[in-house]
């Protein structure tokens, strides 16, 4: 009677040994698979890093030539010190990418900026407002994510009305009241404000620069000025003489995001570099978000 018991015990032992062997084999396969996945991920990241091309031989980046504090300080072609947050962010991003020494930065009025973009002489524009004529010539960073939670814009801009004090003009966010029949709205030629005024059916008088448009309003040559708030609001706070002459009317006419746009040719030739530029500028702007109503939202991780 002992032999069947021994054989039974031996059978159980064999099955147990087989199960252990299968478990060990499964662990080894799982470990190897995990290592393979990790290797593939690491290889993909390394490939992405290797994919980043060297900086282009020429990288011309244009900024607005008008004051738009705190984004841009000073007027004209020269950069003042400090130049403004927009310049700081772009420089920081270029330094992070190793492209700062290759970059040429310049300030251009709207007409020259448009002409140089169309001629292929500008590679990027810092401070392009979405929906504007300049932005239409550029590639802007996409809003990403299932819920559009990833946003590489660097801030918001408000386009607002300004009028001489005592003009009797009123703007409630929907309707413009008190505008004489022969009066015109001052705008800057080739900008979002010109397009916006024409979309709303307001008669316009276009000036070549923001400054000349403002001077027309002060001189009474236009009844209203439609311009972005960064150009006028800080000046009204700092200049008591101007503040006694000019006031902002009601709420903003429109609110838009600001971007660093790139020439389509650059986006096509260096897609990874351009994406990293957008991300780096976004990261730099996040530190100053409280000053500029920042919009940057990077992906997690």
Output the DSSP codes for the chain: -HHHHHHHHHHHHHHHHHHHHHHHHHHHHHHHHHHHHHHHHHHHHHHHHHHSPPPPS-EEEEEESS-BTTTB-SSSSS--SS--HHHHHHHHHHHHHT-GGGEEEEEE-HHHHHHHHHTT--SEEEEEETTSTTGGGSBPPPPBSTTS-BB---EEEEEEEEEETT---EE-SS-EES--TT--EEEETTSHHHHHHHHHT--EEEESSHHHHHHHHHTTSSSEEEEEHHHHHHHHHH-HHHHTTEEEEEEEEEEEEEEEEE-HHHHHH-HHHHHHHHHHHHHHHHTTHHHHT---BPPP-
Which of 301, 252, 284, 263 shows the shortest CA–CA distance to 93?
284
What band does 294 get if pLDDT is binned at 50, 70 and 90? low
Percentage of the chain modeled with pLDDT above 70: 80
Report the b/e string of 222-242 with b at 16+ CB within 10 A.
Answer: bbbbbbbbbbbeeebeeeeee
What pLDDT sits at residue 12? 52
Mean pLDDT rounded to a whole number for the chain: 85
Give CA–CA dist 237/259, Å, rounded: 26
How far is Cα of residue 252 from the mean position of the Cα atoms in its chain? 20
Top-level CATH class of 59-155+258-292?
Answer: alpha beta
Q: How confident is the model at residue 19 (pLDDT cuts 50, 70, 90)?
A: low
pLDDT-based confidence at 299, cuts 50/70/90?
A: confident
Q: Which CATH class is domain 156-256?
A: alpha beta
pLDDT per position as a tens digit, 184-226: 999 999 999 999 999 999 999 999 999 999 999 999 999 999 9
Q: What is the pLDDT of residue 72?
A: 95
Is the pLDDT reported for residue 41 higher than 70?
Answer: no
- Rounded CA-CA distance 183/221 in Å is 9
Kind of pairing between the strands at 124-129 and 246-262: antiparallel
Please state, in angstroms and rounded to a whole number, the distance separating the CA atoms of residues 59 and 103.
5
**CB neighbour class for 78 (10 Å; exposed up to 12, middle 13-18, buried from 19):** exposed
Query: What gap in Å lies between CA 263 and CA 199, rounded to an integer?
Result: 26
Whether residue 156 has pLDDT greater than 60? yes
**How many other C-beta atoms are found inside a 10 Å radius of the C-beta of residue 21?**
10
Contact 155, 285 (CB under 8 A): yes
| pLDDT per position as a tens digit, 266-279 | 999 999 999 999 99
Kindly list the domain boundaries of the chain, sorted by start residue.
59-155+258-292, 156-256
Among 15-29, 136-150, 224-238, the range with the most confident prediction by mean pLDDT is: 224-238
* pLDDT at 174 > cutoff 80: yes
Q: What is the pTM of this model?
A: 0.79
Would you say residue 8 has pLDDT above 70? no
């Amino acid at each position: 009677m002992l032999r069947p018991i021994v054989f039974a015990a031996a059978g159980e032992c064999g099955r147990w040994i087989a199960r252990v062997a299968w478990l060990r084999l499964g662990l080894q396969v799982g470990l190897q698979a995990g290592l393979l996945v990790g290797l593939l991920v690491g290889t993909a990241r390394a490939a992405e890093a290797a994919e980043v091309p060297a900086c282009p031989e020429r990288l011309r980046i244009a900024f607005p030539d008008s004051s738009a504090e705190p984004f841009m300080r000073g007027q004209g072609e020269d950069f003042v010190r400090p130049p403004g947050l927009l310049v700081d962010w772009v420089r920081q991003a270029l330094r992070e990418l190793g492209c700062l020494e290759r970059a040429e930065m310049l300030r251009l009025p709207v007409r020259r900026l448009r002409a140089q973009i169309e001629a292929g002489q500008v590679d990027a524009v810092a401070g392009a407002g979405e929906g504007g004529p300049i932005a239409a010539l550029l590639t802007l960073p996409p809003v990403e994510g299932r819920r559009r939670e990833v946003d590489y814009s660097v801030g918001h801009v408000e386009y607002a009305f300004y009028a001489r004090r005592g003009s009797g003009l009123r703007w409630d966010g929907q309707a413009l009241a008190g505008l004489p029949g022969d009066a015109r709205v001052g705008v800057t030629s080739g900008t979002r404000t010109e397009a916006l005024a024409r979309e709303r059916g307001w008669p316009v008088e276009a000036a070549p620069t923001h400054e000349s448009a403002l001077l027309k309003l002060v001189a009474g040559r236009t009844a209203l000025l439609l311009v972005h708030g960064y150009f006028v609001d800080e000046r009204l706070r700092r200049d008591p003489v101007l503040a006694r002459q000019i006031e902002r009317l009601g709420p903003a006419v429109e609110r838009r995001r600001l971007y660093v746009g790139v020439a389509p040719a650059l986006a096509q030739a260096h897609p990874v570099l351009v994406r990293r530029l957008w991300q780096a500028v976004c990261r730099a702007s996040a530190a100053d978000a409280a000053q500029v109503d920042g919009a940057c939202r990077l992906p997690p991780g």
